[in-house]
Amino acid sequence: MLVSELIEKLKETDGDRLVVLSCDEEMNRVLPLVDTTSAGYVAKTETCCIERLTAELVAAGYGEEDLDKRHVSAFLLIPGEPNEKEE
């Protein structure tokens, strides 16, 4: 799904709904969305990677060997643990 497609789906949704992400296709576990970021996505390894080196990343010790040329640019939705647990 492209970001533009996601935006269209979101436009059709009540803006007061909580965003949760399914951990699998059967929705056996869902977690709330806690953050987003841009990253590279490598389908073959099902992983995210650094898209491009910045001065900040180089200063943190990253180099050309940390880039994966097979990536496509992606928008990553990051799930996290809920703030409130049901008892």
pLDDT in tens, the chain (87 residues): 999 999 999 999 999 999 999 988 999 999 999 999 999 999 999 999 999 999 999 999 999 999 999 999 999 999 998 776 554
**pLDDT at 24 (0 to 100):** 87
Cα 32-76-43 angle, rounded to 5 deg: 120
Number of CB atoms found within 10 A of residue 40's CB: 19
**pLDDT at 85 (0 to 100):** 56
